[in-house]
Chain A
Amino acid sequence: MQTDLAAVGSRLVDGMNLEDSRPTTLLEGDGVEEVLSSISTVKIEPHPPGTISRAVICNPVGKTIDAPYVIHDEAGLILLHLCQEKPEYLSSIARNLSKKGGSVRDASLVISRSFQDEECLDQSVGIIIQDIGIEGSFRIRISSDRGDEAPSDLSFQYFALAQGGLTEHHLGGRYLPQEIGLSEFVKLQNGCYPGQEIHARLDSRNPVTKRLVRIRCEEELEKKRLITEDGKLKIFTPFVDFFAHAIADEGVVDGVINHKGIDVEITTIHSAF
């Protein structure tokens, strides 16, 4: 099926309110920031309630398991997981917190989160993470109130692939954080965390130059590897309505290329949500 590239992606409409059903966890007790920092690529500092941080959790070989948004709340730290299932690393956190009377609790039933566009009418109270998505035109609303806005029937996978979000295909210990738009959250100064040895070695000897890009094209490409004059692209997600994500070599530039008669648009995802 041939389509016009300019028209691809028109399903993201004004008034979008896409519910995100991935798990949410509350870490409560003394020293929660320190405990989370001990396994994250970036230090989580204590902040006033309502502040938002980001953690990235890797496995011992430095590949990304989860990259939760962290909401500083009066009750503790609320983790908005990006993985589909409750992650195993919570056991390690629970062990530490419970020695000091703290705990790890399931907050999925009391916290709602959704992706909204700027035109969405729902302005009710909650915490807003602004400027997400490739064009910075979306936001994440986190609230203990589900709001009145009717949920969108847009699929999460489509939205994530169209706007630069992380899905199960990116996580699960498959890719380095630098390869999936999370470079800004790798801070070697945080000390010893799972994967730090690998990240430090890469940083000093062979810095990661590959990057996450969005592919938009007229039709689904049969091959999962594109070879261009500037370098290779490895497509690692399925195509959903002509969008997919790929890891691109350093030399690959943003723009439209023609691959065997098909126009393919390449856009860098600088900060994945």
Chain B
Amino acid sequence: MGLIGASGLGLPMAVEVEIVEVRIEVTESAKLAIEKSMSDDGDGSVLVISAESGGCSGYLYDMKIVDRPDEEGYQSISVGKRTIMIHDRDSDLLNGIVLDYKDTLMGGGFQITNPNADRSCGCGQSFG
């Protein structure tokens, strides 16, 4: 037995994460880039955008093309023929983001502008 043992699950939550209905804006260039990136993937594939702890500003964006997650707790946003999914736990952080795509040799790729971010890292991948 440890200090807390199985009784840990009976402890009160220290932090509750707010869940909101997510609305995001996807620019035309980002829509084209999503379609191109997912052209080899079947209809069951989705783009998951998430915010993980870490990075130099506290949170780190992550984007993955995966099979549609089975578990509950995701919100779906249709973008043309494709679907973007965002976990409920990230909903308050990612609500209102603008997803853009820049086709440049340096610093190009998907870019996220986040109205919830007080600060962001120079690389554009971390925010807080």
Contacts and interface: CB of A to CB of B under 8 A. Distances in A.
A238 interface: no
Contact of B14 (A92, A94, A99): A94
A28 B1 CA distance: 16
Contacts of A109: 11
A259 interface: no
Given A35-B53, A38-B53, A197-B56, A75 B14 contact: no
Given A26-B11, A75-B8, A103-B13, A127 B3 contact: yes
Interface string A103-126: 111110111000000000000001
Interface string B54-69: 1111111000000000
B53 A92 contact: yes
Interface residues of A, number: 45
Interface residues of B, number: 36
A94 B4 contact: no
Contacts of B28: none
Contact of B3 (A91, A96, A111, A195): A111
Contacts of B7: 75, 110
Contacts of A127: 3
A142 B122 CA distance: 42
B3 A143 contact: yes
A25 B15 CA distance: 10
Contacts of A144: 3-4
B72 to A, nearest CB: 12
Contact of A105 (B3, B14, B57, B119): B14
Contacts of B14: 25-26, 86, 90, 94, 104-106
B82 to A, nearest CB: 22
Interface string A21-46: 00001101000000100110000000
B3 A73 contact: yes
Interface in B80-104: 87, 89-90, 93
B103 to A, nearest CB: 26
A91 B9 contact: no
A194 interface: yes
Chain A: interface secondary structure? mixed
A91 B4 contact: no
A89 B58 contact: yes
A231 interface: no
B44 interface: no
A242 B75 CA distance: 59
B8 A26 contact: yes
Given A104-B15, A105-B12, A106-B12, A196 B4 contact: no
Contacts of B5: 74-75
A233 interface: no
A49 B1 CA distance: 9
Contacts of B12: 105-106
A94 B17 contact: yes
Nearest to B122: A197
B93 to A, nearest CB: 8
B126 A39 contact: no
11 contacts: A60-B57, A60-B119, A89-B58, A92-B58, A94-B14, A96-B53, A104-B14, A110-B4, A127-B3, A143-B3, A197-B121
Please name the 9 residue pairs, one residue from A and one from B, whose CB atoms are nearest each other, closest first.
A38-B54, A75-B8, A74-B2, A105-B11, A73-B2, A92-B53, A94-B15, A75-B4, A106-B14
